[in-house]
């Protein structure tokens, strides 16, 4: 399976610009043989656009979803993307996965809302989702979610082997890529795809450095700070040293009790 990660600027509240980017990157990725492209968090309509999230958010099955499905089918390439979802009076920071036929494989609502902006606009989701992609069991998280070992472990215990993560990680938070993502991948034996923005969105600066981490905690592909399309063959794991693969899931033992000796 070939996976693509798109790292680019935020559409900054312009859905037409977002769809232009989506279509172009799908076509390029498909021509390179990619099966799936992962875009950043809230790519529709852009992350740092709280004043527009409510007015532009759409329901599941709405025009955005129909257009995303059609673009994936036309390009013959799958698509994972973050977007602002409305259900009744509630707004969700969501992500959807479409396959190369345009069929929706999964829809997920972010569990761990981050910061004042997100918490003032969205309500948190409540459920994990899993899906099949090219014979691989996949799971979805969004940005801050993946920083919690509990969520990654729960998805692994549900059978996930591949974790797709649309994200909007600002500059100054590179510890996520340097420390947390390798740790999450290694301790769960999962491959993690982390697609970030680069450039500015209003006063917010994004750090780029999108990353694909293998189950041994090593990078399979990584981006710098500028616009990039990473395309990587996930089947080429022949160089992974079996001794580097963690046995934590198998070896873990729970304590039987607590003794306060103070």
- Sequential DSSP letters for 115-169: HHHHHHH--------EEEETTEEEEE--GGGGG-HHHHHHHHHTT--EEEEE--P
Q: In whole angstroms, what is the distance from residue 142 CA to residue 175 CA? A: 17
Q: For the domain 2-234, what is the CATH superfamily, name and number? A: Carbon-nitrogen hydrolase (3.60.110.10)
Q: In whole angstroms, what is the distance from residue 113 CA to residue 109 CA? A: 10
Q: Where are the alpha helices (DSSP H) in the chain?
A: 15-31, 50-56, 63-75, 115-121, 149-157, 175, 181-188, 248-251
The single residue of 110, 118, 147, 152 carrying the catalytic annotation is 110
Q: In whole angstroms, what is the distance from residue 40 CA to residue 46 CA? A: 9
Question: Per this entry, what is the length of the chain?
Answer: 262
pLDDT at 238: 52
- Checking if the pLDDT of 69 tops 90, the result is yes
110 is annotated as an active-site residue: yes
72: Cβ contacts below 8 Å, ≥ 6 apart: 26, 78, 79, 98, 99, 100, 101, 102
- Checking if the pLDDT of 260 tops 80, the result is no
Question: Cα dist. 149→96, 128, 181, 182, 186 in Å?
Answer: 22, 14, 10, 11, 11
Q: Where are the domains positioned within the chain?
A: 2-234
Percent of the chain predicted with pLDDT > 70:
96
73 is annotated as an active-site residue: no
Return the minimum-mean-pLDDT range out of 114-123, 149-158, 183-192, 244-253. Answer: 244-253
198 is annotated as an active-site residue: no
Tokens 């007015």 map to which residue?
55
Q: In whole angstroms, what is the distance from residue 148 CA to residue 27 CA? A: 34
**Closest of 84, 87, 78 to residue 106, by C-alpha:** 78
What number of other Cβ atoms are within 10 A of residue 62's Cβ? 13
Q: Whole-number mean pLDDT of the chain?
A: 94
**Closest of 131, 61, 74 to residue 102, by C-alpha:** 74
pTM of the model: 0.94
At 259, the pLDDT band (50, 70, 90 cuts) reads confident
pLDDT at 239: 62
Give tens-digit pLDDT for 189-227: 999 999 999 999 999 999 999 999 999 999 999 999 999
């Amino acid at each position: 399976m070939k996976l693509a990660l798109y790292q680019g600027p935020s559409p900054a509240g312009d859905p037409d610009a977002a769809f232009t980017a989506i279509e172009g990157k799908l076509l390029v990725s498909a021509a390179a043989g990619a099966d799936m492209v992962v875009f950043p968090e809230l790519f529709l309509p852009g992350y740092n656009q709280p004043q527009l999230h409510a007015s532009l958010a759409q329901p599941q099955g709405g025009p955005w979803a129909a257009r995303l499905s059609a673009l994936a089918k036309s390009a013959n390439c799958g698509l994972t993307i973050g977007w602002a979802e409305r259900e009744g009076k509630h707004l969700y920071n969501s992500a959807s996965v479409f396959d190369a036929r345009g069929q929706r494989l999964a829809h997920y609502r972010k569990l761990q809302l981050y910061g004042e902006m997100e918490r003032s606009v969205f309500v948190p989701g409540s459920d994990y989702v899993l899906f099949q992609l090219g014979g691989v069991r996949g799971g979805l998280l969004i940005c801050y979610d993946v920083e919690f070992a509990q969520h990654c472990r729960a998805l692994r215990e549900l059978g996930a082997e591949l974790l797709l993560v649309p994200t909007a990680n600002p500059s100054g938070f590179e510890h996520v890529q340097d420390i947390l993502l390798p740790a999450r991948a290694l301790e769960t034996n999962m491959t993690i795809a982390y697609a970030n923005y680069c450039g500015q969105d209003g006063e917010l600066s994004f750090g780029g450095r999108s990353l694909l981490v293998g189950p041994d905690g090593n990078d399979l592909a990584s981006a710098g700070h500028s616009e990039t399309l990473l395309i990587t063959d996930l089947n080429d794991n022949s160089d992974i040293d079996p001794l580097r693969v963690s046995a934590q899931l198998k070896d873990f033992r729970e304590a039987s009790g607590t003794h306060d000796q103070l």
